[in-house]
Structure 1
């Protein structure tokens, strides 16, 4: 997907999601399934304080390499295990202004053997 996302993300997904979400400057938003941080960076460009969470450490590592308009906290973590994040990070759903998940293939329950 790269730094700016696919053409679909750039022209359809990000503008549409920003129009729906209408992030406000200073608002805390938790981006679940943030992947390489494409949408997290778009949210920070709107002035939001973003924490990006993804279960894939390799994607979080990549997200951290891209420049951002403002600092983003990226966390490699299963979205079901967010309770021990630092107090400065919103814990869904009560203290986060918004929690956002565009799509995460890994969000499907996995069979346990």
Structure 2
């Protein structure tokens, strides 16, 4: 493994480990508002958001797994698992997309 890739992986691992620090913040995470929270804060839910909200439900709502519970450690594990899945998906898409582009270029 070359040095650049090793440093990239070390940096990603450090960021994944630091992800649960977001649990220490108070309030809602920007852009992750539920309809009930918007109704409470704004007094209404935008029509388009209300119509589209039933189309998708997150595989790990609130970054947690029911078997881990609502403890800080359980939520931390959920955050870390979410980060690992996200990095793996993004990395895989970039890797295989790059291979396709290089193959088409040749």
Bin of the TM-score, shorter chain as denominator length: under 0.3
- Look at both structures and tell me which one has the larger radius of gyration over its CA atoms: 2
Structure showing the higher strand proportion among its residues: 1
